[in-house]
A and B are shown apart, each in its own frame.
Chain A
Amino acid sequence: AQSVAQPEDQVNVAEGNPLTVKCTYSVSGNPYLFWYVQYPNRGLQFLLKYITGDNLVKGSYGFEAEFNKSQTSFHLKKPSALVSDSALYFCAVRDWQGSTLTFGKGTMLLVSP
């Protein structure tokens, strides 16, 4: 069975500082990894995905994530946080054969002015 762990319920960062939201996963075979962002009472917006290729993936709104196979991690990063980045972030995984996503529990990112 596949699983995702987001160890932090909340991450606090000051505007302009770099941010990291952690994610580790467990899956059979090669993983397909995703990051989504959710604003209050809204659906999920796609940020980025890793399927194959370069371990550093660049996505929307200046976010990037680094795939680390040995550590089974896919941490989300941004060099300079904005207040508008404050939202709920979900990491998700599926295996190469399946069709369903498994989500982490989510991490609330709060960026203070």
Chain B
Amino acid sequence: GAVVSQHPSWVICKSGTSVKIECRSLDFQATTMFWYRQFPKQSLMLMATSNEGSKATYEQGVEKDKFLINHASLTLSTLTVTSAHPEDSSFYICSANPGDPGLGFYGYTFGSGTRLTVV
């Protein structure tokens, strides 16, 4: 079935540094990927839609310069948290829709998530 691989699973970084999170579709091509943020005991909040070969579409209230998204190929999207601060600490999850009936059309596959802790 369709698999989305997300790395790293967890990362600790110092305030002011940048962190890159990768999201790969392993057995399908994803022209669109989605990045979510999840706070403890809360739901997933869509941050942005990543579009292959073009600019990402950010949700209202999400800082584009803080959360840089690059979708340079059909199988890889990256989220870079720039100049990280403790308030950026959260659980980040990526997702993609395989879009193929054999792989679960209309369904969405999620990465395993990245726990970011900024100290």
Interface residues of A (CB under 8 A from B): 32, 34, 36, 41-46, 49, 51, 90, 99-106, 108
Contacts and interface: CB of A to CB of B under 8 A. Distances in A.
Given A36-B110, A43-B93, A100 B34 contact: yes
A106 B106 CA distance: 21
Most chain A beta-carbon contacts within 10 A, residue among B43, B111, B113: B43
Interface residues of B, number: 26
A32 B105 CA distance: 11
A106 B114 CA distance: 19
B43 A41 contact: no
Contacts of A46: 104, 107-110
A101 B108 contact: yes
A64 B107 CA distance: 16
Contacts of B104: 46
Interface of B: 4, 6, 9-10, 32, 34, 41-44, 46, 49, 91, 93, 95, 97, 104, 106-113, 115
Contacts of B34: 100-101
B71 to A, nearest CB: 14
A41 B91 contact: yes
23 contacts: A32-B106, A41-B115, A42-B112, A43-B4, A43-B6, A43-B112, A44-B93, A46-B108, A46-B109, A51-B106, A99-B49, A99-B97, A100-B46, A100-B49, A101-B34, A101-B46, A101-B108, A102-B46, A103-B43, A104-B43, A106-B41, A106-B42, A106-B43
B51 to A, nearest CB: 10
Contacts of B110: 36, 43-46
Most chain B beta-carbon contacts within 10 A, residue among A34, A49, A100, A104: A100
Nearest to B46: A100
Given A41-B91, A44-B93, A49-B106, 13 more contacts: A41-B115, A43-B111, A43-B112, A44-B95, A44-B110, A49-B107, A51-B106, A99-B32, A100-B46, A101-B95, A101-B108, A105-B43, A106-B43
